[in-house]
Structure 1
Amino acid sequence: MAAPNRSRRRFRVVAVAASVAMVLTAAAPAQAAPGGSVTDLVLKQLIKHMTLEEKVGQLFVTQAWGESATNPSDADKAKNQEYFGLDTAAQIIQKYHPGGVILFQINNNTNNPQQIAGLTNGLQKAAISSGTHLPLLISTDQEQGIVARLREPATQFPGSMPVGASRNTTDACTAASITGQELRAVGINQNYSPDSDVNDNPANPVIGVRSYGADPALVASMASTAVRCSQKYVAATAKHFPGHGNADNDSHTGLPIIRRTADDWHKIDQPPFTADIAAGIDSIMTAHIEVPSLDPAGDPATLSQPILTGILRNQMHYDGVVVTDALNMDGVRIKYGDARVPVLALEAGVDQLLMPPKFDLAYNSVLDAVRSGELSVSRIEQSVLRVLRLKLKNRVLTQPFVNEQAVSRTVGTPQHLAAAQTVADHGITLIRNDDKVLPLAKSKKVLVTGWDNGVTFPTRAIAAGLTSAGIAATALPTGSVPNASAVASAVAAAQQNDVTVVVTRSSLLALGASQVALTNALIATGKPVVVVAVQNPYDIGYVPTARNYVASYYYGAVSSASLARVLAGTVAPTGKLPVRIPSPADLNTTLYPIGYGIGY
Structure 2
Amino acid sequence: MPRSSVTRRTAIASAVAATLAAGAIPVTTADAAVPAGPKGWVQSTLVRMTLEEKVGQLFVQQVYGQDATTPDSRNLPLYGVSTPAEVVQKYHLGGVIYFAWTDSVKNPQQIAGLSNGLQQAALTQQSKVRIPLQVATDQEQGVVTRIGPPATQFPGSMALGASRSADDARTAAAITGEELRAMGVNTNFAPDADVNVNPLNPVIGTRSFSSKPELAAQMVAAQVAGYQEDGKVAASAKHFPGHGDTATDSHVAFPIITHSREQWEQLDAPPFKAAIAQGIDMIMTAHLAFPALDDSGNPATLSKPIMTDLLRGELGYKGVIVTDALEMQGVRDLYGDEEVAVRALEAGVDQLLMTPAMDKAYAAVIDAVKTGRISQADLDAKVRRVLELKVKRGIVADPMVDPAALGSVVGTTEHLATADAITNRTSTLVKNDAKVLPLATNGKKVLVTGYGVTTTQILADGLAKAGSTTTVNQTGTSPTDAQIASAVASAQGKDAVVVTTMKAWDTNVTDKRGGQQKLVKALQDTGIPVIVVATRDPYDIAYLPGTTTYLSTYSYSPVAIEAAARVISGAVAPTGKLPVDIPAKGAPSTVLFPFGHGLTY
For residues 263-342 of structure 1, the aligned pairs below 5 Å read 263-342=262-341
Secondary structure at the residue paired with 1:144?
coil
Secondary structure at the residue paired with 1:553?
coil
The partner residue of 2:31 within 13, 23, 28 is 13
Displacement of 1:580? 1.1
Other-structure match for 1:583: 584
What code does the residue aligned with 2:114 have? L
**Matches of 2:371 and 2:327 in 1, distance apart?**
25
**Matches of 1:446 and 1:490 in 2, distance apart?**
14
Displacement of 1:482? 1.8
CA distances 1:370-419 after superposition (whole Å, capped 9, x unpaired): 11111111111000000000000011111000001111110011111111
The answer to whether the Cα contact below 8 Å between 1:90 and 1:123 also exists between their aligned partners in 2 is yes
The answer to whether the Cα contact below 8 Å between 2:573 and 2:600 also exists between their aligned partners in 1 is yes
Other-structure match for 1:50: 49
Other-structure match for 1:33: none
Other-structure match for 1:28: none
What code does the residue aligned with 1:502 have? V
**Matches of 2:375 and 2:274 in 1, distance apart?**
33
Displacement of 1:229? 1.1
1:22 aligns with 2:37: yes
**Matches of 2:340 and 2:504 in 1, distance apart?**
30
The partner residue of 1:164 within 145, 156, 161 is 161
What code does the residue aligned with 1:127 have? A
CA distances 1:472-518 after superposition (whole Å, capped 9, x unpaired): 33222122222222212211222211111111111764573111111
CA distances 1:440-487 after superposition (whole Å, capped 9, x unpaired): 01356243333334xx42211111111111233322212222222221
Other-structure match for 1:79: 74
The answer to whether the Cα contact below 8 Å between 2:504 and 2:516 also exists between their aligned partners in 1 is no
CA distances 1:86-138 after superposition (whole Å, capped 9, x unpaired): 01111111111011111111100000000000000000000001224210011
Displacement of 1:154? 0.8
TM-score (norm 1): 0.93
Other-structure match for 1:525: 526
What code does the residue aligned with 1:278 have? A
Other-structure match for 1:559: 560
What code does the residue aligned with 1:537 have? P
| C-alpha spacing 1:584/1:223, structure 2 compared with 1 (3 Å) | same
**Matches of 1:240 and 1:484 in 2, distance apart?**
40
The answer to whether the Cα contact below 8 Å between 1:224 and 1:272 also exists between their aligned partners in 2 is yes
**Matches of 1:508 and 1:303 in 2, distance apart?**
33
| C-alpha spacing 1:443/1:371, structure 2 compared with 1 (3 Å) | closer
What code does the residue aligned with 1:126 have? A
The answer to whether the Cα contact below 8 Å between 2:491 and 2:497 also exists between their aligned partners in 1 is yes
| C-alpha spacing 1:448/1:557, structure 2 compared with 1 (3 Å) | farther
| C-alpha spacing 1:507/1:482, structure 2 compared with 1 (3 Å) | closer
| C-alpha spacing 1:341/1:9, structure 2 compared with 1 (3 Å) | farther
Other-structure match for 2:136: 139
**Matches of 1:383 and 1:64 in 2, distance apart?**
23
Other-structure match for 2:6: none
Secondary structure at the residue paired with 1:93?
helix
Other-structure match for 2:189: 192
The partner residue of 2:209 within 212, 219, 236 is 212
Secondary structure at the residue paired with 1:550?
strand
**Matches of 2:166 and 2:246 in 1, distance apart?**
26
The partner residue of 1:127 within 122, 126, 138 is 122
What code does the residue aligned with 2:37 have? M
Secondary structure at the residue paired with 1:482?
coil
Other-structure match for 2:421: 422
The answer to whether the Cα contact below 8 Å between 1:219 and 1:272 also exists between their aligned partners in 2 is yes
What code does the residue aligned with 1:426 have? R
Secondary structure at the residue paired with 1:427?
coil
1:534 aligns with 2:550: no
The answer to whether the Cα contact below 8 Å between 1:444 and 1:498 also exists between their aligned partners in 2 is no
Q: What are structure 2's unaligned runs of at least 5 residues?
A: 1-25
Secondary structure at the residue paired with 1:473?
strand
Secondary structure at the residue paired with 1:147?
coil
**Matches of 1:114 and 1:214 in 2, distance apart?**
38
The answer to whether the Cα contact below 8 Å between 1:581 and 1:591 also exists between their aligned partners in 2 is yes
What code does the residue aligned with 1:255 have? F
The answer to whether the Cα contact below 8 Å between 1:194 and 1:238 also exists between their aligned partners in 2 is yes
The answer to whether the Cα contact below 8 Å between 2:505 and 2:539 also exists between their aligned partners in 1 is no
**Matches of 1:523 and 1:393 in 2, distance apart?**
57
**Matches of 2:338 and 2:82 in 1, distance apart?**
24
1:477 aligns with 2:488: no
CA distances 1:265-319 after superposition (whole Å, capped 9, x unpaired): 0000000000001101011001101100000111110010000111110101001
Other-structure match for 2:572: 571
The partner residue of 1:225 within 222, 226, 233 is 222
Other-structure match for 1:62: 61
**Matches of 1:444 and 1:547 in 2, distance apart?**
23
Displacement of 1:423? 1.5
Other-structure match for 2:93: 98
Other-structure match for 1:32: none
CA distances 1:543-564 after superposition (whole Å, capped 9, x unpaired): 1211111110111211110000
What code does the residue aligned with 1:484 have? D
What code does the residue aligned with 1:475 have? V
**Matches of 2:415 and 2:265 in 1, distance apart?**
37
CA distances 1:211-269 after superposition (whole Å, capped 9, x unpaired): 10101000000011000111021011100010111111011111100000000000000
CA distances 1:317-337 after superposition (whole Å, capped 9, x unpaired): 001000000011111111111
The answer to whether the Cα contact below 8 Å between 2:192 and 2:207 also exists between their aligned partners in 1 is yes
| C-alpha spacing 1:201/1:388, structure 2 compared with 1 (3 Å) | same
The answer to whether the Cα contact below 8 Å between 1:449 and 1:478 also exists between their aligned partners in 2 is no
The answer to whether the Cα contact below 8 Å between 2:190 and 2:237 also exists between their aligned partners in 1 is yes
Tell me the number of residue pairs that the alignment of Structure 1 and Structure 2 aligns.
568
**Matches of 2:540 and 2:505 in 1, distance apart?**
10
For residues 465-504 of structure 1, the aligned pairs below 5 Å read 465-504=462-501
| C-alpha spacing 1:444/1:504, structure 2 compared with 1 (3 Å) | farther
1:109 aligns with 2:104: yes
Secondary structure at the residue paired with 1:432?
strand
* Structure 1 range deviating more: 144-153 or 478-487: 478-487
Secondary structure at the residue paired with 2:28?
helix
What code does the residue aligned with 1:124 have? Q
**Matches of 1:128 and 1:444 in 2, distance apart?**
62
| C-alpha spacing 1:508/1:144, structure 2 compared with 1 (3 Å) | farther
The answer to whether the Cα contact below 8 Å between 2:449 and 2:497 also exists between their aligned partners in 1 is no
The answer to whether the Cα contact below 8 Å between 1:195 and 1:240 also exists between their aligned partners in 2 is yes
What code does the residue aligned with 2:304 have? Q
Other-structure match for 2:370: 371
The answer to whether the Cα contact below 8 Å between 2:434 and 2:548 also exists between their aligned partners in 1 is yes
Displacement of 1:82? 1.2
Q: What are structure 1's unaligned runs of at least 5 residues?
A: 1-7, 24-38
Identity %: 49
The answer to whether the Cα contact below 8 Å between 2:477 and 2:504 also exists between their aligned partners in 1 is no
| C-alpha spacing 1:119/1:176, structure 2 compared with 1 (3 Å) | same
| RMSD, aligned CA | 1.5
Other-structure match for 2:16: none
| C-alpha spacing 1:12/1:352, structure 2 compared with 1 (3 Å) | farther
Displacement of 1:11? 5.3
Other-structure match for 2:411: 412
